[in-house]
Copies of this chain bind each other. A is one copy, B any other.
């Protein structure tokens, strides 16, 4: 059926253009000449009916979960979202586990803030080790999008870093949920969340 196929191609092309600026469907490697790789991932995300957990904290001074939820809804309006807010980073691991085991989330995006004081590096470490344990106990990914107040002195810059990181990691979570193998198209490309990608080192 040419009509349907044409329409789909056009829609896909348009969508790709729009989406590319947001990283989801970015062509992974311009020099490789491969094209259209992004479409299967995009479509899989669009059709995905899985459940995504989003964890955030009352400690954070940015509403990270809302940023994440907005991005998830923009790309994947068939997924179900479960949000869980806890006091601080140390409460995040068990919240992730509860979202996976009780709410049956297929993947969790854990967001949170690491404060400027020295001890918070330790807190992040404790939370991360707990989150890795959660993943090993449940065989599910928990993607972390933490930020540190000291990443930027300027508040507006900090906010933009957080938005960029949370959105890109929301995209990562959707890719892993909808089409796990799709991240291989972006392998070794020096992708960064919260800053510009560094690109691939070639010899």
A18 within 8 A of B: no
One of A3-11, A35-43, A73-81, A139-147 contacting the partner: A139-147
List the B side residues contacting A65 at CB < 8 Å.
184, 187-188
List the B side residues contacting A125 at CB < 8 Å.
122, 125-126
Interface residues in A127-184 by Cβ distance below 8 A to B read 127-137, 139-141, 143-144, 155-156, 158-160, 169, 172, 176, 180-181, 183-184
Q: A interface, by DSSP: helix, strand, loop or mixed?
A: helix
A62 within 8 A of B: yes
**CB pairs A–B below 8 angstroms (17 shown):** A56-B187, A58-B189, A60-B190, A61-B198, A61-B200, A83-B184, A84-B184, A86-B141, A87-B143, A95-B141, A125-B125, A125-B126, A126-B128, A129-B129, A133-B133, A134-B136, A155-B203
